[in-house]
Amino acid sequence: MKDSYKHIGILLDVYAYNHAWKIAEHMPDFPEQSLYLLEMLKERRELNIDFVFEHEAENQEIKEMYGFSLISNSWEEELLANYIMDLEAKVKNGDIIDFVRAVSPILYRLFFRLLKDEIPDIKSFIHDTKNEQYDTWLFMKMKQSNYPIFEKYLKVKREGKVTSKSLVELLQFTRMPKSIKKLAVELRNFEKSVRNPLAHLIKPFDEEELHRTTNFSSQTFLNKIIQLAQYSGVNYNKKTFYYDQVNEIIKEGLSR
């Protein structure tokens, strides 16, 4: 890599794509393909996947040159995979607080996705409050439906809010493998166990504190999230991190 690009390389290694792109776009000799990849990664870290979907020609050129596909899923699944990529970057950078705080949205989406497989019209049994309050279950409609899962779920009194807790409880009455049900419970318990410590945080919360609180490492928790996502149909490369793969392509372009 040229000396003028060494700072870019350092930023790539810590996935600081916004900073790297801002520097690169003002370099007149910066390779066009590498600049596209930097901007694509910047947008991914901002949770915007539309950008990569809008650049089919550039994506195809990279696939032909390097045998690497920048998109591995349809839009909905890629959105979930992209969120997990951001979580993995946080783990690799040791941003434990940010990682833990970002876990709840992906868990909710994965739990909901799994339930939708067995109850395709599950949204019709939920009242959308259309504001910052929790959505709520339509218990009467659930009781009147033909879904045995609802009959089993409502045999005991349930909280009306649609939360990760209620989704996991409902998942226990599905036909999914016991291992997946257990995995969902483990992930929900992790989320629950770290919520209070973070809400009242007055001391450092690092990997050691995370393990003391949950008996999990951040990597173990991430692996469990990936496992659940893969079961739900999301393609995610667990062996080689997406950002690292694209970083190598960028660096190769900068070395020419």
Q: 133-169 pLDDT, tens per residue? A: 889 999 999 999 989 999 999 999 998 999 999 999 9
How many angstroms separate the CA atoms of 123 and 142, rounded?
11
Helix extents (H) in the chain: 6-13, 17-24, 32-45, 50-53, 56-66, 75-93, 96-101, 103-118, 139-144, 148-153, 164-171, 178-199, 207-214, 218-231, 242-254
Q: How far is CA 9 from CA 19, 27, 61, in A?
A: 11, 14, 23
Residue 16 has pLDDT above 90, yes or no: yes
Domain ranges (residues) in the chain? 3-72+239-254, 77-231
Judge contact between 154 and 142, C-beta under 8 A: yes
Across all residues in the chain, what is the average pLDDT? Answer: 92
pLDDT computed for residue 151 by the predictor:
94
Q: Give the model's confidence band at 256: pLDDT under 50 very low, under 70 low, under 90 confident, else very high.
A: confident
Q: Give the model's confidence band at 222: pLDDT under 50 very low, under 70 low, under 90 confident, else very high.
A: very high
Q: Which of 135, 132, 77, 130 is nearest to 106 (CA)?
A: 77
pLDDT (mean) for 201-205? 62
pLDDT digits (tens, 9 = 90+) for 77-117: 999 999 999 999 999 999 988 898 899 999 999 999 999 99
How many angstroms separate the CA atoms of 68 and 73, rounded?
13
Q: Give the model's confidence band at 196: pLDDT under 50 very low, under 70 low, under 90 confident, else very high.
A: low
pLDDT computed for residue 31 by the predictor:
94
Least confident of 15-19, 30-34, 194-198, 244-248: 194-198
pTM for this structure?
0.92
Residue 12 has pLDDT above 60, yes or no: yes
CA angle 61–87–204, rounded 5-degree value: 145
Q: Which of 112, 40, 109 is nearest to 71 (CA)?
A: 40
- Work out whether the CA dihedral 7, 56, 48, 238 comes out positive or negative: negative
Residue 200 has pLDDT above 60, yes or no: no
